[in-house]
Amino acid sequence: MHRVGLIGMGIIGQRYIDIVQKTGHQLAGVTGSSAHSSNVYADLYDTKPFQSWNELVNSPSIDIVINNTPNHLHFEVNMECLKLGKPIYAEKPLGRNTAETKGMMEALKGKPVANVVNYNRRGFPAVRQIRQMIEAGELGDILLIRGNYLQDWLLFPQTWNWRVDPANGEVSRALADIGSHLVDMSLFVSGLTPRSVFYEKQTLIPMRKKPSGEWIKIENEDYGTLMIRFTSGAQGVFTFCQTAAGHIGSDMWVEISGTRKGLLWREREEDKIILKRYNDEDEVIGVEPSRFNTHGQFEVFSDFISWVDGNGPEGVATFSDGHFQVYLMELAMKSAETGTWQEVRFKG
């Protein structure tokens, strides 16, 4: 049993607590955005409150850290864990820019520290089965990947969140916040390598009202469409939007077309893979849902623990994967600014 420390509470933080408990490990400490928050959640979950993330990370009573902080704290928390050699399970994005993520990659050199970025869609049993089907050649050569990730929680100008606040320096939102999940999952199942990218984006709600009543100009995007040319010749088209009315919560799907077959998977019907054949009816393949309705997080966290126990990083997004997603985000933003395709020249 491992002693797990959680930094950052809220809805996702409480899901992490549930996963830690269901995997049979000890929630050994929590810290929130304030002393009051830390004490409240520690009392609620019968664990130890820490008054800062640094205190929690450096505590000898914590074996593993879950970093569920806002994006601007990811770098500091992750780097401290790497310095200490303490296994770290981090929320995405890995960092706000490649300067930060390169720093983490440098810190990892020569250190066998288990490191995972929470691209949790990799944990869905259906997603893992799709990867196996493609690896086995069942679809033939991949020709096209299309996907959407739509939400409506930011539809109204009166909705405020730290993700839209220009003060936090979030240069991308639709792509960095939700689109990266779809892109990472597509690369994970297909095994394809991006050659160049083109990004079209727009801030559909240009002004938002803060809780104080002040109206603020929003700088990051509500909507984006990312096109990818892969080195194999395959094409990818992905659309993301956080102001799409009627798309409550997480509405993500991906369709993959190959030279032999195609398939469609929708997150809202996670226990079904729809197999498509030429001039024939669709076949529905039933699969297991993610355990405990955790959107793949239970499976990914279990694999992280397996890595901590010495079994290797199977089925998870490592910090290297997270670094690549931040690189793609920066490249996409450059494309949007210049209106040109950008070549992928990732050095790792």
Count of residues for the chain?
348
- Spans of the chain below 50 pLDDT: none
Q: Is residue 96 part of a domain?
A: yes
The domain boundary, picked from 97, 113, 129, lies at 113
pLDDT for the residue 89: 98
Helix (H) or strand (E) holding 24: none
Query: Are the CB atoms for 342 and 198 separated by under 8 Å?
Result: yes
Let me know whether 145 and 236 are in one domain: yes
pLDDT tens digits for 21-35?
Answer: 999 999 999 999 899
By residue range, what is the domain housing residue 105?
A: 3-113
Let me know whether 157 and 89 are in one domain: no
Let me know whether 140 and 282 are in one domain: yes
The tokens describing 326, both together, are 């931040």
Q: Which amino acid appears at position 210 of this protein?
A: K
pLDDT for the residue 9: 87
Chain centroid to Cα 324, Å, comes to 12
* β-pairing verdict for 261-266 and 272-277: antiparallel
Q: Please tell me what DSSP assigns to residue 287.
A: -
User: What CATH code is carried by the domain that includes residue 180?
Assistant: 3.30.360.10
pLDDT for the residue 348: 82
This prediction's pTM: 0.96
The domain boundary, picked from 113, 135, 153, lies at 113
Task: Provide the number of structural domains found in the chain.
Answer: 2
Let me know whether 137 and 243 are in one domain: yes
Q: Is residue 348 part of a domain?
A: no
Number of Cβ within a 10 Å radius of residue 293: 11
Q: Is residue 159 part of a domain?
A: yes
Q: With both helix axes pointing from N to C terminus, report the angle between 125-135 and 180-190 in degrees, rounded to the nearest 10.
A: 40
Number of Cβ within a 10 Å radius of residue 62: 23
Q: Is residue 311 part of a domain?
A: no
